[in-house]
């Protein structure tokens, strides 16, 4: 699913960045992608995806 339609950034790509590069917030995502730089509508859903990925990753480490 595309999170950012303006730049064609998918939720998979965001999750991959979170896992592989340790990107954990919108500011860091915006350093490595143009996410949110056009209409900005994607920022909220991108934040939710990042938060859920971080929660998932943390719970995997705990168990
Ligand atoms: Fe991401 Fe427009 S949908 S900047």
25: domain CATH number is 1.10.10.1100
Query: What ligand 1 atom has the least distance to the C-alpha of 7?
Result: 1
The confidence score (pLDDT) of residue 13 equals 95
For 10-60, the pLDDT digits (tens) are 999 999 999 999 888 999 999 999 999 999 999 999 999 999 988 887 777
Based on the structure, what is the number of domains in the chain?
Answer: 1
Q: In terms of residue numbers, what domain contains 26?
A: 2-62
59 C-alpha to ligand 1 centroid (Å)? 30
For residue 53, the model assigns a pLDDT of 87
Cβ of 32 closer than 6 Å to ligand 1, yes or no, is no
Ligand 1 neighbour 40 (Cβ under 6 A): yes
* The pLDDT of residue 40: 97
- Contact yes or no for 1/39 (Cβ under 8 A): no
Give helix then strand counts, H and E, for the chain.
Answer: 3, 2
Residue nearest ligand 1's atom 3 by CA: 4
Whether the per-residue pLDDT at 63 is higher than 60: the answer is: no
What's the pLDDT score for residue 58? 74
């Amino acid at each position: 699913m595309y999170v950012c339609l303006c730049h064609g950034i998918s939720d998979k790509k965001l999750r991959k960045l979170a896992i592989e590069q340790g990107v954990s917030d919108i500011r860091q995502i915006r350093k490595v992608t143009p996410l949110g730089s056009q209409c900005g509508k994607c920022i909220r859903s991108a934040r939710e995806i990042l938060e859920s990925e971080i929660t998932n990753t943390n719970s995997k480490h705990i168990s």
